[in-house]
């Protein structure tokens, strides 16, 4: 297998990709919404429709489209506190994650994180995963104007990594994140922690669907990227 000597990057969503933790986010949102009069929200609906989005956007989607930025930040911080309390002790690396990151790094692939989480949650998760040292850039929702499905997070990560968007592969579990990658001009690997394989089928930028990182070859993914780029030209 021959990969051109160009700079490439892998950009990972964090929640649901580096670790299988999205159920804790969903339960925390459900508890918060219940306290504010929204009963019966299905956690799966949150996961499918708004997972990966900024907290303010989630609140405006489900609770109140006119909620102020100040109230949104306050409620998001409360939800994040509930999430950290409920998930502590359960945050584990996805199977095969560390060997995959190590192999990709040794191959010269630039590695970054592009997450809808804020600063506290990002530090919390990456520290528990003992994964921070693998990444050349980490971009959270607090560093961009628009969250997913806007492309801002992934474009910022690519800029910091010094890699053209067309040479980036995004790893995503959530459909808003897949859309964000597409709008950024990036190919995507779907991770089946939040959505099953069928959910990724209509997504034109998804080049591979994986359950975990155990049997994933970084260079094989670059070959798939090259094939997909050639098909578009």
* 22-87 belongs to CATH 1.10.150.240: yes
Query: What residues does CATH 1.10.150.240 cover in the chain?
Result: 22-87
- Both tokens of 144, joined, read 């961009």
What DSSP line would sit under 31-79, residue for residue? Answer: HHHHHTT-----HHHHHHHTTTS-HHHHHHHHT-TT--HHHHHHHHHHH
pLDDT digits (tens, 9 = 90+) for 98-110: 999 999 999 999 9
Cβ atoms 174, 193 nearer than 8 A: no
Point out the catalytic residue in the list 15, 20, 57, 173: 15
Query: What residues does CATH 3.40.50.1000 cover in the chain?
Result: 9-21+91-232
Rounded distance between C-alpha atoms, residue 20 and residue 133, angstroms:
20
The mean pLDDT value for 66-92 works out to: 93
Cβ atoms 6, 167 nearer than 8 A: yes
Distances (CA, A) of 62 to 29, 101, 142: 10, 36, 21
For residue 226, give the H/E element and its range: helix 218-232
Could you confirm whether 13 is annotated as catalytic? yes
Q: What is the pLDDT of residue 4?
A: 43
Point out the catalytic residue in the list 13, 80, 152, 173: 13
229 pLDDT above the threshold of 80: no
Q: What is the pLDDT of residue 232?
A: 45
- Both tokens of 15, joined, read 């929640």
The CATH number given to 9-21+91-232 is 3.40.50.1000
Could you confirm whether 173 is annotated as catalytic? no
Q: What is the pLDDT of residue 44?
A: 86
């Amino acid at each position: 297998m021959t990969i051109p000597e160009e700079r490439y990057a892998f950009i990972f969503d964090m929640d649901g990709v580096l670790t299988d933790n999205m159920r804790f986010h969903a339960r925390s949102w459900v508890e918060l919404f219940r306290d504010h009069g929204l009963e019966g929200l299905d956690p799966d609906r949150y996961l499918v429709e708004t997972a990966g989005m900024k907290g303010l956007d989630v609140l405006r989607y489900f609770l109140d489209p006119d909620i102020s930025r100040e109230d949104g930040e306050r409620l998001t911080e409360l939800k994040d506190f509930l999430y950290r309390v409920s998930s502590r002790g359960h945050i584990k690396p996805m199977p095969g994650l560390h060997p995959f990151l190590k192999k990709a790094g040794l191959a010269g692939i630039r590695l970054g994180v592009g997450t809808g989480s804020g600063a506290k949650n990002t530090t919390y998760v990456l520290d528990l995963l003992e994964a921070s040292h693998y990444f050349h850039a980490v971009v959270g929702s607090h560093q961009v104007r628009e969250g997913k499905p806007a492309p801002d997070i992934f474009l910022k990560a690519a800029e910091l990594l010094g890699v053209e968007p067309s040479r980036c592969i995004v790893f995503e579990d959530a459909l808003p994140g897949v859309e964000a990658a597409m709008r950024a001009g990036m190919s995507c690997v779907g991770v089946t922690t939040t959505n099953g394989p069928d959910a990724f089928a209509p997504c034109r930028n998804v080049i591979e669907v994986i359950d975990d990182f155990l049997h994933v070859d970084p260079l094989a993914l670059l070959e798939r990227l090259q094939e997909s780029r050639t098909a578009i030209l």
